[in-house]
Chain A
């Protein structure tokens, strides 16, 4: 994935609202393990990302996503499939 992609940039902006500033958000960053986002907040986070990109990510797909890069790839492929 391309770190300059608008999808990655928009995901990074949304994620930064859920973590304190000290965390680096890069493609290899693990969303739950590294950013310490509470599973209660993951739902809101995913919804915000879905709304920003006008896609819907199924729960089955969400359970396969670990890193910010993987999340970006999924969103980009859903946009392409539209």
Chain B
């Protein structure tokens, strides 16, 4: 009996995936040529699976903010937020987020994963009730495991099912409903306005993870809550700097000023080093770009509609309407792995998404569109998909 025995099935699956050619898992890019191109060996690959929705990873003002921050503050913070790891870079970014979302409180964490872990598990404690969508991201599930509250799952994107579950709970304890804005695997969007009504009508607060939707949805790019007109109603909104913000880190904002107390109690905030000055400055610069350049969102949506229409015309089974994420459903895992390899050999990189990372045991080729994609690049991706047929 070894500690490593339990990994045998995962290892076998990983080895099996490699028999189809290149392993899709953790494949290294040798050089990034632009937000949408990478070099692997002597080949130039079109990237259409990078969550780089606004294409800001090579934006001049973002890169400039990073180098300025390195010169002013150095390479790392060497401490946590409550000790020596809070610089004005962090507090400025929190002020910027508060202003952008019209929030009473904003807390910046080191990653998006830690944001959800550190807020959800701290807000809901002993005797409280967490109600989460069944398709929630791994970090929401992990937050529930870390919390002392009782966790109940409700049917994906089903406010009526949530309503029934809320009504069955005992009267004791506080209630927190957790949903996402846009779901990262299928690209489907939550009926958030209905969820807000159901939560509030049943004495619960609502937390929305907008990791994939901030920057992409809403008149000012503030996400699904803004798009559906309920930004002022949601109690907590979290996001990540690792997608539209072209950096690393995460944040949670709230209309409740009392949210500030989470800083005093959240272990994922207290016991880990703060984001590097460069990452924090990049996120701030990206937020400014997001605000001042709505045309980035327009480009993202134009390219998304082009890709979605093209794939539909080729007869591919698309899980959701056009959006930043376009998920192509495949009949089984083997087909998905084989096609991932064909696409890669054809110089196109997409995400391979297979169980258990996907809901309902589905196998997907997952594409994420960027404002930086040219119309020609989308055509090249469509041509590669056509060659799969």
Please give the residue numbers on chain A whose beta carbons come within 8 Å of chain B beta carbons, in ascending order: 38, 40, 43, 47, 50-51, 54-61, 81
Contact of B134 with A55 in the complex, beta carbons under 8 Å: no
Q: Per a CB cutoff under 8 Å, which of B153, B161, B170, B360 touches A40?
A: B360
Beyond A43-B153, A56-B152, A81-B170, 20 additional pairs, beta carbon < 8 A: A40-B355, A40-B360, A40-B361, A43-B134, A47-B155, A47-B161, A50-B168, A51-B164, A54-B168, A55-B168, A56-B165, A57-B152, A58-B150, A58-B151, A58-B152, A59-B144, A59-B150, A59-B152, A59-B153, A60-B151
List the A side residues contacting B161 at CB < 8 Å.
47
| B169 close to chain A: CB less than 8 A | yes
Number of interface residues of B (CB under 8 A): 16
Decide if the interface of chain B is mainly helix, strand, loop or mixed.
mixed
List the B side residues contacting A54 at CB < 8 Å.
168
List the B side residues contacting A58 at CB < 8 Å.
150-152
List the B side residues contacting A55 at CB < 8 Å.
168
With both chains docked as a complex, state the minimum distance between the C-beta of A18 and any C-beta of chain B, in angstroms. 15
Query: Which residue in chain B gives the minimum CB-CB distance to A39?
Result: B356
List the A side residues contacting B150 at CB < 8 Å.
58-61
Decide if the interface of chain A is mainly helix, strand, loop or mixed.
helix
Docked complex Cα distance between A25 and B153 (Å): 26
Docked complex Cα distance between A46 and B282 (Å): 45
Number of A-B pairs whose CB atoms are under 8 Å?
A: 29
Docked complex Cα distance between A38 and B355 (Å): 12
Docked complex Cα distance between A58 and B134 (Å): 13
State the 3 A-B residue pairs at the shortest beta-carbon distance, nearest first.
A58-B150, A59-B151, A56-B168
With both chains docked as a complex, state the minimum distance between the C-beta of B152 and any C-beta of chain A, in angstroms. 5
With both chains docked as a complex, state the minimum distance between the C-beta of A80 and any C-beta of chain B, in angstroms. 13
List the A side residues contacting B155 at CB < 8 Å.
47
Query: Which residue in chain A gives the minimum CB-CB distance to B161?
Result: A47
**Would you mind naming 18 contact pairs between A and B with Cβ atoms under 8 Å apart?**
A38-B361, A40-B360, A40-B361, A43-B134, A43-B153, A47-B155, A51-B164, A54-B168, A56-B152, A56-B165, A57-B152, A58-B150, A58-B151, A58-B152, A59-B150, A59-B153, A60-B151, A61-B150
- A-contact 0/1 string along B129-155, CB 8 Å cutoff: 000001000000000100000111101
List the B side residues contacting A47 at CB < 8 Å.
155, 161
Query: Which residue in chain A gives the minimum CB-CB distance to B361?
Result: A40
Docked complex Cα distance between A11 and B355 (Å): 28
List the B side residues contacting A43 at CB < 8 Å.
134, 153
Q: Which of A40, A57, A58 has the most CB of B within 10 A?
A: A58
List the B side residues contacting A60 at CB < 8 Å.
150-151
Query: Which residue in chain A gives the minimum CB-CB distance to B152?
Result: A56
List the A side residues contacting B144 at CB < 8 Å.
59
Query: Which residue in chain A gives the minimum CB-CB distance to B355?
Result: A40
- A-contact 0/1 string along B279-308, CB 8 Å cutoff: 000000000000000000000000000000
List the A side residues contacting B355 at CB < 8 Å.
40
Docked complex Cα distance between A32 and B383 (Å): 44
